[in-house]
Structure formats: C-alpha cells, structure tokens
Structure 1
Amino acid sequence: MGSYVAHSTIVKNWREHPPSSYSLKIDKLSQFNLNKYESRRFLSGGYNWRLAIFPKGNKADNGSGFISMYVEIDSTNLVSRPPTEVFAYLTFLVYSKKENKYLSIHVWGLSQVLPCDTFNDPKKGFIFDGEQCEFGVDVMVVSPFTKWEVASFNKTFDYPKFSWSVKNFSELNEKSYFSNRFSMGGRKWTLRLYPKGEKAAGGKWLSFYLKLDYDETLTADEKIYVRAHLRVRDPQGSNDITDTSTLTIGNRSRGGGWGIIRFLSLAKLRRAYLDNDDSLNVEAEFEVVSETKYSPVV
C-alpha cells in the first residue's frame, strides 16, 4: 500500500496548566551564550527524552529569528535496539508572566486525513465486511509535572580571577604541573601547565589548561557550562596573551576541562614572559559558571 501524507494544522493558544512532562527555566538569560541547551533526561511513555532549546534559533532548520524547541529521544540507555518508530503527541509551551499563562503550540486535527476516492475504493480495504469501517484516536491525559530543572548563568563573582606564579620556570623538569585548587562559581578548579608542551606541541610550545578538580563529583546527566579566559601575564604589563572559550563539562569528562596545546611558543615565552625571578605568571578569569537545580527524581 502506498503512503498518504496529510497536512496538519498548528494551533496556538493560551492555557493556565503548567507543563505536564518537563519544565525548564533558564536564569540570567543575558549570560546565556550557547547556541543550544539540552535538558536533563526525563521519562515519558517508557522512553527517555531531552528538551532542546535554541534561544537564537536553529539556523540549520530554517529557524533564524525564532525560538527553536525540540524533544530528542535518548537512545543511549535503551535495553533493546531502538524502535523504528516512536509516536508522541507534542505540545511546546512558553510562559508569559504578563499573561500568567503558557503559550501552547500543538497539533490539533488533520484537515486532510485521506482522499474520499481512496477511502471508498474497495481495493484499499478501508471499507470491509460489507459496510464496516473503523476510526480511532490516541489521547494522552496529562498530569502535573514533577520533573524540572533551573539553569542559572550568573556572572557575579566576589573576585573572578585566580593567579598562579610558577617559580623557577626555566628549571622545571616534570611533564606537567598543577596549581593549588581554587573555588569559582561553587566548583573547585585547578590550572595545569606543560612547561615543554604536550607531545603534540612538539616541545616548542607552552600547553595551558583549566581543569575541573578531580574531587568534584557530577551526576550521570549533569553538565557545567563555563566561559573563561586563560592568560599568560606580561611582566611589563602591556601585552598579555589571552584565550577565551565557552566549554561544557559533563560526567564523562571527569577532571576534564579546556585549554590550548599551543598556547605560547617557548621561544617567545623565554624572551618576553618570564619576570626577573624566572617566574611565569598565569591566571584564569571567569565570566560564567552555570549552576543547575533539578528535581530529585528524573
């Protein structure tokens, strides 16, 4: 039997009832500097899902100029092989404090289910056993949500910088060195230096990293979003070397972080970036460290 394509009608309206499956709040939206944010997993209909938000639109899906919202099935923890099809009735909601209601966007009815000529054609089998036919509908009755998260992107720090003076730099012989642990945004961090660079740097570059401390424990589905600057200070104070990045750290990247393999050539470093005491002065400056609060059971 061939395929039949029906055009659905997208219906938008206001409602007071909150989301039934999952609620995601983003705090400090002005500091949200990501193209995409994925929620924690939540269970619905026997499958795990994620809510994905594109605050500036998903350009790859012709979403420029709009808020883009998706749900994505998480197949990483399916016991059996992923099903070929999963049917779900979806309603996306955006809350308005002015209205104190949710703008809901959902599919409501199909104006062109099936051509009449096709329905009445006995060869197609829609009319059977004389004059019988059958219609049906799946209706999902929802209950109040119990699974939620609030992602905060707060740039307020008492002091956003951590400085590290690496003494006797020219005499360092170990492969790498760690700074003391320091706290920033409710998390513990360290800096890591490779005085002669990592292997991929060919022994001619300084490798410099910001690392989440190994004592930090993340849950299986937890992520930290960080925007920070790594910097090598100029002893003369006029030509610091700085690199900036936004990174995501998850459970699988325990102790992980971000850095640059070829941060600064050792030749240039020895020429201009060691002070009179043969010390290399570096620092990390933080703009954002995310904090996520979520329901106890997801």
Structure 2
Amino acid sequence: MPGNNSRFTWKIMMFSSFNGKQHSSHEFTVGPRKWNLVMYPRGDGIGEGNSFSFYLNASDYMTNGPKTKTMAIYKLRIYDQLKRNHYEIKDEHLFLDDSTVGQPLLLPLEELNNISRGFLVDDEIYLGVEFFRISNN
C-alpha cells in the first residue's frame, strides 16, 4: 500500500488561459516512483476538439537499484466543486519504465464547461489521483 501519501490534487487557476496542447503538474512521489498528471484541455488523439483528456504519468524511479515494473491501482478524478459529484475513473496498470496512461475521451468539453456541473468554477479546476495499491514486480 502506498501509505499516507496516496492522493494528489492539482489546482489549476485561470484554466481558460491555457493555450498549449498539454500541461503537466509538478512531480510528486507515491511508493517507489515519481508521478505527474497530464491534461489536454482541448483533448488529445481521438478526443481532440471534443473531450477533456487526462493522464497519469510514471516518471523516474526513486531508487538507484535495478528498475522493476510497478503495478498501480488508482482513480483519476475531476472534482465537482459545487455538489461533490466528482467525475472519476478507476483503473489499474503495470507501469514499465516511464509510461503514461489515461483517457483521451475522459469528459466531453460540453460537460466540462457546463456551469451547473461544477467542474469549472471561477475559471478554476481541480484534478486528482488516488492510489489504492502500488507494488513492484
């Protein structure tokens, strides 16, 4: 189990000002790895132009020893700031070296921008990941 550092929340202010294709959170450590979240505000791949795309990226290992595979069971989350009806997707993945996994079609842009859904409030959005289990193979 990852212990007390099993959640990471990324607060993004002035969301509408993001002009580039992708944006990444700063790195954080859970288990033996460094991670970061990656978002594509206007979609990526098959979601480009119609969906919010959201990914978990496994960065370099923390240790200097031999690199091993890391199994992670986690949940990616877009926080509903009004009703706490968060949009979540639970997944598991065997991370090899540095890899990125996620959803190019996570949430339609129409839903993301719908004020009543509470994902974007005062041009701020909260994204997160929660790890349920991490183990090295």
Q: Per the shorter chain, which TM-score range?
A: 0.7 to 0.9
Is 2:2–2:30's contact at 8 Å kept on the other side of the alignment? Answer: no
Higher relative contact order (CA 8 A, sep 6+): 2
Report the secondary structure of 2:113's partner residue.
Answer: helix
Find 2:107's aligned residue among 251, 264, 280. Answer: 264
Larger gyration radius, structure 1 or structure 2 = 1
Taking only the aligned residue pairs, the percentage that are identical comes to: 27
Deviation at 1:258, TM superposition (A): 1.6
Determine the structure 2 residue equivalent to 1:216.
61
Structure-to-structure mapping, 1:244-283, within 5 angstroms: 244-251=90-97, 254=98, 256-271=99-114, 272=117, 273-276=119-122, 278-283=123-128
Residue 8 (structure 2) pairs with residue 157 (structure 1): no
Q: Distance in 2 between matches of 1:165 and 1:286?
A: 18
Q: TM-score, normalised by structure 2?
A: 0.88
In 2, distance between residues paired with 1:280 and 1:203?
19
Is 1:168 aligned with 2:11? no
Match of residue 193 from structure 1 = 39
Tell me by how many angstroms 1:280 deviates: 1.0
The aligned length equals 132
Cα distance in 2, alignment partners of residues 250 and 163 from structure 1: 24
Q: Secondary structure at the match of 2:26?
A: coil
Q: Does 1:184 align with 2:63?
A: no
Is there any run of 5+ residues in structure 1 with no aligned partner, and where? 1-154, 293-298
Once the 2 structures are TM-superposed, how far is the Cα of residue 268 of structure 1 from its aligned partner?
0.8
The 2-side partners of 1:162 and 1:242 are apart by 14
More strand as a share of residues = 2
Contact 2:27 2:36 in 1 (8 A): yes
1:172 Cα deviation from its structure 2 partner: 1.0
Name the structure 2 match of 1:234: 80
**In structure 1, what is the equivalent of residue 51 of structure 2?**
205
Task: Give SS of 2:46's match.
Answer: helix
- Contact 1:247/1:257, CA 8 A, preserved across alignment: no
Contact 2:75 2:91 in 1 (8 A): yes
Separation in 2, partners of 1:237, 1:282 = 15
Shift of 1:260: 0.5
Corresponding residue for residue 286 of structure 1: 131
Please give the residue correspondences for 1:45-84 in structure 2 after superposition, counting only pairs within 5 Å.
Answer: none
Distance 1:223 1:248 in 2: 7
Secondary structure in 1 matching 2:43: coil
Contact 2:32 2:61 in 1 (8 A): no
Aligned pairs (5 A) from 1:4-153? none
